[in-house]
Structure 1
Amino acid sequence: MSKKITHIETLKLERDGLKQDLPGFGKKYINIVDYILEITEDIWEKKEIDVINETYEKDILIHTGARIINGVETVITGTIDTLASFPDRKMGGEAVIWSTDNKGDFYSSHRIISTATNLGETIYGKATGKKITFRTIADCKVANNKIYKEWLVRDNLSILLQLGFDPVEMAKKDATYKKTPIAIPINSNQEIAKQDLEYPENLVYSLITNVWKQNNFEDLAEYLAADSTLYAVGNQEISGITKIKEYIQTVLASFSDLSIGIERITSNREEGLTHIAARWYLKGKTTEEGVFGKHSVDEIFIPVLSHYTVKNGKITDEWMVYDGFDALCQIYSQTNTQI
């Protein structure tokens, strides 16, 4: 039997907004949205690194790319290194979409647009002095004031390109998947019939399964408003059904034997408006024809985090984030990768 993947909330929460029962949380936090926004600001903009120990479990599991990172010390080290490279990083919180899983357990999907200047050395090379803009989405499971699991997707390919580095050359040098094998999880989910499209959550589910998975592009107008905009990786803004269709087709052309699955949908319904977060994935062998420009011998795994706004029964906006550089690192880690 497929696990429940759709979670719906109708309470509107925001920074300094409605008071919510948060068992085991610090008293200064008003609700789960307030918690996520406040700790992000404290850690990244106020540079209060100790807040990480206060709000992350010691043995936290972080899903990033096709691997799992374990332990709060990794979070602390990564934060310190990033701040050294980009000391003026500003974290613009665009949205936090949330739900409750169990009593005292919460789920959040936090969309962030960051601006930063590369003033320190990075893993890619010396400081460039360049100012960059990039998007991240972080999904977290939280209980008792502690984040104990996170799914982190950052547009690292855009960062590299803006800094002026060659992503392919960087991927060839990267040792991530030479040290840690590519991990491709197996997930199952239930298809949702087209007649359920009056519910905004099913609209998003059906967009992914019917268009992305089954290539029924003639149905796009059922899901998207005529002036719908897709905010894609690389700081792209793609407007209109025809252009969005072309973008999806380009991504799909990057794979052979492609599998697509949805792991979770989180929905915050408001009067006349619904905000939805979807955690899903692409897995398959890559081809030369698509965005990666390279055949891979084995499958690669690309987690995708998307946010949607639904109004009047149609998707008006989508923000889609995946890590294209991590995909390149997987491709070039395969010693028998075809030329």
Structure 2
Amino acid sequence: MNATSLGLPERPRATRVRHVAVEDLVAQRPDTGFPMKGFQPGHADIVDWIFKITHKIWAERAVGTIHDTYDHACPVYAGADFSRGAEEVVAGTLATLSAFDRDSRFLNVAWSEDADGFYTSHLGASTVTHIGPNAWGPATGRRARFLTCADCVSRDGRIHTEWLIRDNGAAVTGLGFDIHEVAERLARADAAAGRKPWFIGLPRRAYGQANPGPLDRPEGPGIEDRLAHLLHDVFNRRRIDALARLYAENVHVHMAGGREIMGRQALGDFWISFLAAFPDAAFSLDHFCWSEETDGVILAVRWGIRAHHRGHGPWGAPTGRPVYVLGMSHYRLDEAARIVEEWTLFDELAILRQTKAPG
């Protein structure tokens, strides 16, 4: 199963990262003719570029190269935080390196190109040791493993917009902290400092008392349309049974919070528990991109959910507080165009910071 058979457009082949050793990814690659107008020479394609600048910043600790690869006013949107500009990216990177001895590897990179430049969604796995104090508490010396995903818009050799998710639910609990206590403390600090969420708006599933209808776009045979309709049906129409349209029965899902979910039935159970906690949840699919990788096509979506915390579930007793969930999902397809592996990230600490906000 290749990309064109899934209704995806033809485009130049880019570097593949899945199951490729870091040493091979760091190595110089020959010029493939991939169109990289405005980017520094020496990069084979956009995937090669995003990998190498990330590796240089984090693995080689060349933190100052952020000034060379980020726009000076680049906005960065995270689960509950917002920053603007390369200098704030530098500060955040130094804070993370001070708190964690970190080893990371790329899992997937999906990408697209349009008039705004290149869009990349790069998913990675990190194993860290907590060696210094941070906002969660003093160094514990413990180790934790978690996933991160960064979606970036890049043009002329610089990142101009970034959305970033670190699975803080898995990280905080893995390091031995009580995530509810940490979230409550951070929520009080947010209120004391007058920090407001970067997102606005309340959920609107349907006008008046109308039932949520089908997605307002044609459903063609291509995989992008099929995935968009499936996600709308599952989350906005509460048709959990729609998972069977694309998911293999034995799908393996790496879910936020470090959860490992095996099977389509168990995945449906998880989303039922999520929607029970946020019963007025309104879902939006905000970006789609893809890649052809070593073991199948990878689809990647950035999405958002607006809701009120009005039900019981993994995030505690209902508080009625409004919540925004920034999410990113990667899907690996098999030869039958079924989803056989999924990585879905959202920041549970960010959710709890909102549900525990004073007042």
TM-score (structure 2 length as normaliser):
0.84
Matched, 1:29 2:30: no
CA distance in 2, matches of 1:192, 1:223: 18
Contact persistence 2:301–2:328 (CA under 8 A): yes
CA distance in 2, matches of 1:261, 1:278: 10
1:136-215 matches, within 5 Å, as 136-174=148-186, 175-176=189-190, 179-185=194-200, 191-193=216-218, 196=220, 198-215=221-238
Q: Structure 1: which amino acid aligns with 2:168?
A: N
The match for 1:120 is 132
The match for 2:347 is 323
- Which stretch of the first structure deviates more once superposed, 166-175 or 272-281? 272-281
Q: Structure 2: which amino acid aligns with 1:69?
A: S
Residue 128 (structure 1) shift:
0.8
CA distance in 2, matches of 1:291, 1:285: 15
CA distance in 2, matches of 1:157, 1:177: 21
Contact persistence 1:8–1:267 (CA under 8 A): no
Contact persistence 2:215–2:229 (CA under 8 A): no
Residue 118 (structure 1) shift:
0.9
CA distance in 2, matches of 1:322, 1:81: 21
Q: Which sections of structure 1, spanning at least 5 residues, go unmatched?
A: 1-5
Q: Structure 2: which amino acid aligns with 1:323?
A: D
Residue 113 (structure 1) shift:
0.4
The match for 1:236 is 259
What does the per-residue CA deviation read over 1:43-99, in whole Å, with 9 as the maximum and x for residues that have no partner?
Answer: 101000121111011111011124432111111011111111113x11210011011
Matched, 1:72 2:86: yes
The match for 1:47 is 61
The match for 1:295 is 318
Q: Which sections of structure 2, spanning at least 5 residues, go unmatched?
A: 1-6, 16-24, 205-213
Contact persistence 1:11–1:268 (CA under 8 A): no
What does the per-residue CA deviation read over 1:93-149, in whole Å, with 9 as the maximum and x for residues that have no partner?
Answer: 00110111127x110000010111111112211111111110011000001111010
**What SS does the corresponding residue of 2:128 show, helix, strand or coil?**
strand
Q: Structure 2: which amino acid aligns with 1:28?
A: G
Residue 192 (structure 1) shift:
4.3
How many residues are paired up? 326
Contact persistence 1:10–1:270 (CA under 8 A): no
CA distance in 2, matches of 1:183, 1:173: 19
**What SS does the corresponding residue of 1:121 show, helix, strand or coil?**
coil
Match of 1:83 among 92, 97, 111: 97
The match for 2:13 is 12
The match for 1:3 is none
CA distance in 1, matches of 2:106, 2:55: 9
TM-score (structure 1 length as normaliser):
0.89
- Which stretch of the first structure deviates more once superposed, 323-332 or 115-124? 115-124
Residue 212 (structure 1) shift:
2.0
Matched, 1:255 2:271: no
CA distance in 1, matches of 2:73, 2:118: 18
What does the per-residue CA deviation read over 1:185-219, in whole Å, with 9 as the maximum and x for residues that have no partner?
Answer: 469995445x53x3222232122111122111222
Distance 1:219 1:257, change over 3 A: closer
Distance 1:204 1:44, change over 3 A: same
The match for 2:143 is 131
Task: Give RMSD over aligned pairs.
Answer: 2.4
**What SS does the corresponding residue of 1:257 show, helix, strand or coil?**
coil
Q: Structure 1: which amino acid aligns with 2:339?
A: I
Distance 1:94 1:163, change over 3 A: same
